[in-house]
Homo-oligomer: A and B are copies of this chain.
């Protein structure tokens, strides 16, 4: 019997190292995947449909949007991006644990959508001062952009208590340990086992 996967909602202010943490967690434990979004942008060379994205026409996208088939969607540089309920449901049904990387507003919407029973995780920097130091260290953003990012980060962090878990990235190894612990613990819940204790006695039958 296949147990359906767990949906994880992840949010983090820009520069918190969320993606770096997740990549390492995915190396450490199997059965994890990012959600596959729909997009109207053109596939780049080598991009296979259904892997990084589901590529659709603008017409198909707006139809799905109007039918409320996206958990969340956005327009970026003239292209549409959206997370379809069905795509996430398919991945979960496939037994994968799915990460949904989403902003604070989107996370609030999904948390209320009980059909997914998501686990929500907020990744935070140890402090705003440290976040500023990291953003400056990247050397990619103007002072103005950094100021804006910090302002947004402060706003987002005010919503952290609405998440179930908080991972403070005060060092990659520790943050990875906490993130993977949340996943491993979740997989060990008795209510995620097929048919109660049957699994224990499987080999005795």
Q: A interface vs B, CB < 8 Å? A: 122, 124-130, 157-158, 160-168, 177-178, 180-186, 188-191, 193, 196-197, 199-204
Point out the residue from B129, B166, B184 that lies within 8 Å of A203, measured CB to CB.
Answer: B129
**Is A126 touching B186 in the complex (CB atoms < 8 A)?**
no
Q: Which residue of the partner chain, among B164, B181, B202, contacts A184 with CB atoms under 8 Å?
A: B181
* Distance in angstroms between the alpha carbons of A193 and B165 in the assembled complex: 10
Copies in the complex: 2
Which chain B residues lie closer than 8 Å to A124 at the CB level? 197, 200
Query: Which residue of B has the minimal Cβ distance to A130?
Result: B203
Q: Is the CB of A178 within 8 A of B182?
A: no
What residues of chain B lie closer than 8 Å to A197, measured between beta carbons? 124, 157-158, 160-161, 166
Q: How far is the CA of A193 from the CA of B182 in the complex (A)?
A: 16
CA distance A204 to B128 in the complex (A): 7
Q: Are A163 and B190 in contact (CB under 8 A)?
A: yes
- Measured between beta carbons, the chain B residues less than 8 angstroms from A196 are 160-161
- Residue of B126, B158, B200 near A126 (CB, 8 A) is B200
* Pair A188/B178 contact, Cβ less than 8 Å: yes
- Smallest beta-carbon distance A37→chain B, Å: 27
Chain B residues in 8 Å Cβ range of A185: 165, 178, 181-182, 184-186
Considering the complex, give the chain B residue whose CB is closest to the CB of A119.
Answer: B185
5 contacts between A and B (CB under 8 A): A124-B197, A128-B201, A130-B203, A167-B188, A181-B182
* CA gap between A201 and B177 in the complex, in Å: 22
